[in-house]
Structure 1
Amino acid sequence: MEDIDLLAGELAEVMRIAYIKGITTGGGGNASIRISDGFLITPSGKFKGRLEGKDILMINNRGEVIRGTGKPSSEWRLHLKIYSMREDINSVLHCHHPLATAFSISFRDSLKDIVRDFMTEEASIFLKELTVVPWRPFGTQELADIVSEALKDSNAVLIERHGALVVAEDHWKALAAMESLLETLWIFLFCKILRGIT
């Protein structure tokens, strides 16, 4: 049986680390952990850099809070749909990093080339593939459907104008996967700049 308090504290720590490292903003992004009775998810409207275990909510598959107080992330449908489609996934991390958002807008058609040519060995293990999905309104079932479909053969998605999302077997690997994704994008950007200089 899971130690809910421990997992809630670790999920809050994942978001604090993501904020401190500049991976997400204070008001943006969300994360979750699958548990036997539903899943733990970050709350809506709370500063990500100061989350604590007590802030993390447990919700069921209808989005109803069954532990904790407050509102769950508006993207709870997205997390639920991913868990329903991927039994191997136990954690979802979505961050609003400006580099990921910029790539989703500027390099959508050439993303497969970017991944093939610039993905590190670590990133290829964590991410498998990287896809871009078109923008859909946040918090909607439409967004949940399009992102979960893109994750059938991939562990990472860029959402047009809406950052990046990664999935993993646990929350620490999800954080590492997000770092690896951003590392790949930075490497590509730096190579483009350096090649332009030389």
Structure 2
Amino acid sequence: MKSTPADANPPTLYRQLLGAQFDTLAPGLQALHARHGRHRYHGKVEVDRGRGLLAWLCAAATGLPRAGRGPIKVEIVAGAGCERWTRVFAARAMRSRLWARDGLLCERLGLVTFGFRLQVVDGAITWQVERVRALGVPLPTRWFARIRAREYVSHGRYHFDVAAAVPLAGLLVHYHGWLDEA
């Protein structure tokens, strides 16, 4: 039986989507997004949530975290063309599945699937909504113009900043913090 060299793995999801831009990422971002297999991280997070009924319903449909501050644990399982992320906020898990389609990073959160355009800006990754489907039904992208995400490195540590607001409901969630490898 022929053995396969360790570097024969297909490109990771982020390397595939970012192409040559991947090499311009800060080293900490490259490290997090260049690995195959199961990896665990821990850190601190602050979460703000919207207060109205519609905001609560939207957050429930996507499994968004509750308001609070404290520890976060993240497990990433990266395989061929797909990643599964489990983020645990105060013992409550938010799970998502990520894959590439049509040059977009697709992320399934509960009942909703987002298509994000990834860009590298000053060594950081920014996410911009390009497509949204709820239960398979396309929704107007303009409703999601106030969803933003950014991954970056500060003082050698991986940081994230995610905010989501939609018309009528207002703020759904804003969470930000940092991670270290567990």
Q: TM-score, normalised by structure 1?
A: 0.29
More strand by share: 2
Structure number with the higher helix fraction is 1
